[in-house]
Amino acid sequence: MKNSILFFILVFSVASGFAQQKWTLQECIQRALDENIQVRQAQLDIDVAELDKSDADGNFLPTLNANASVSKNTGLNFDPTSNLATTTQFLSASGGVNTSYNLFDGLRNFKQVQRAKLTALSAQYSFEKLEDDIALTVANGYLQVILNKENLKVLRSQNEVTKQQLQQTKDLVDGGVSPRGDLLEVQAQNASEIQSIVAAENAVQISLISLAQTLLIRDYKNFDIADGDYQIYGEEVLLKTPQEITESAKEERYEVRIAENNLDIAEKDVEIAKGARWPTISAFFGYSTRYSEQDLVNSFQEQLYLNDGISYGLRLNVPILNGFQTRNNVRRSKIAADRAAINLEQAQLDLESNVYQAYLDAQGALKAYEAAETAVESQELAYSYSQDRYEVGLINAFDFSQSKQRYDNAMIDLNRAKYDYIFKLKVLELYFGVPVSELKF
């Protein structure tokens, strides 16, 4: 029985290990796009826009309606077949079919179709912009996890060196070669590094939970990302001038497209509002018939034939006065168009400002990364030199631990600068028009 339980635990543990998924960046982005609530809402906006377009197309079709009624009449009523007043109780019925077609309405139906197409296009632009924003958010969260993991690796690796140093110092102290103060210094250094490792482990878990929440993943305990050596790609974008990137962004980015499309919609609303000033002309056709049980001569079928009627013609509606509603609607739509034009201008200015800021951020991140590389090289040489001097007793444990700590901090700063530079490059590439699916990490 005991062996069976142990076997079950072993099988369950192995199965759990296989079930735990290591998420790649591409998988995280796709998960966010599939599950994000805002993305799903944006997709519904696209569906609504398609329905509005269908409504606009349907306005070009004629209307067709049928009606029928049956009533039991008691007391004084008019016979629908003879149109005479009668006090007899009788059953009557009537029915008909009506159709109408809009011949001219100031081209408003035509303009509505154009507007519906613009609205659908705007919804699509908003959806695609949201996808880009979410992908960038996920990439930032993903890189933060990698940064925290890299920092943890540095701290653990350096702590292994400290542990070796601790044992060597203990042997030297026990042999009477080094003072006991050196051992206490190394022990303090080891305790400080263990505290840093614990804090780094917590930082990894917090960043993983934050990323899991972005992806709407509830199993925080088993969520993890795939390990990988993320390199720096896309540096060629820095060879472009800010003006070149800005011009490309105006053509490729959705912020300006949305603003341009909203201006087109506002201008179309002005045309639709002006169309209400024109007369409307429509054609109509109607067929109706009646039946009454008061008619004792003719059968039901004969009454339907004898009592039927047809009406058809044209209907003209000329707007003359409607409390200034048409005039005010035109003015409101013009104001909305002016506001949309201002918003477009602001979107262009914001985009230009954002591009320049992203360009400067990427350049600054590159300089910080290069400086961090130089600092690591210098601190590594200084640490190696200190280690050689410490081993021959030329410096004490305190001086050596300070050199080692400076080297550790330089490595952590290099990791931070590297992933900050990677992210800043991705932002600049997006402004230049590189699709999210083609971004390299």
Question: Looking at the domain assignment, is residue 428 inside a domain?
Answer: yes
- Residues 196-229: pLDDT tens digits? 899 999 999 999 999 999 998 988 888 999 876 6
CA gap 365, 367 in Å, rounded = 5
| DSSP annotation string for 234-265 | -GGGGGS-HHHHHHHHHHH-HHHHHHHHHHHH
The whole domain housing 303 covers: 73-100+286-318
Confidence (pLDDT) at 289: 92
- In a 10 Å sphere around its CB, with 0-12 CB exposed, 13-18 middle and 19+ buried, how is residue 99 labelled? middle
Residues 6 or more apart whose CB falls under 8 angstroms from that of 59 comprise 102, 109, 112, 113
- Tokens representing 196? 């840093």
Confidence (pLDDT) at 304: 85
Confidence (pLDDT) at 279: 92
**In a shared domain, residues 307 and 403:** no
Q: Sign of dihedral through CA atoms 192, 197, 199, 200? A: positive
Question: Looking at the domain assignment, is residue 48 inside a domain?
Answer: yes
pTM of the predicted model as reported, rounded to 2 decimal places: 0.75
The residue out of 296, 318, 340 marking a domain boundary is 318
**In a shared domain, residues 112 and 84:** no
Confidence (pLDDT) at 45: 92
Pairing mode of beta strands 77-78, 85-86: antiparallel
Question: Looking at the domain assignment, is residue 1 inside a domain?
Answer: no
**In a shared domain, residues 199 and 301:** no
Spans in the chain with pLDDT lower than 50: 1-19
**In a shared domain, residues 155 and 227:** yes
Confidence (pLDDT) at 252: 80
How far lies 204's CA from each of 150, 151, 197, 255, 307, in Å? 10, 9, 10, 34, 86
**In a shared domain, residues 290 and 236:** no
**In a shared domain, residues 309 and 400:** no
- Residues 46-61: pLDDT tens digits? 999 999 999 999 989 9
**In a shared domain, residues 55 and 192:** yes
Q: How many domains does the chain have?
A: 2
Confidence (pLDDT) at 81: 66
How far lies 238's CA from each of 309, 324, 431, 436, in Å? 80, 57, 12, 18
- Tokens representing 348? 């262009």
Question: Looking at the domain assignment, is residue 67 inside a domain?
Answer: no
Confidence (pLDDT) at 2: 41
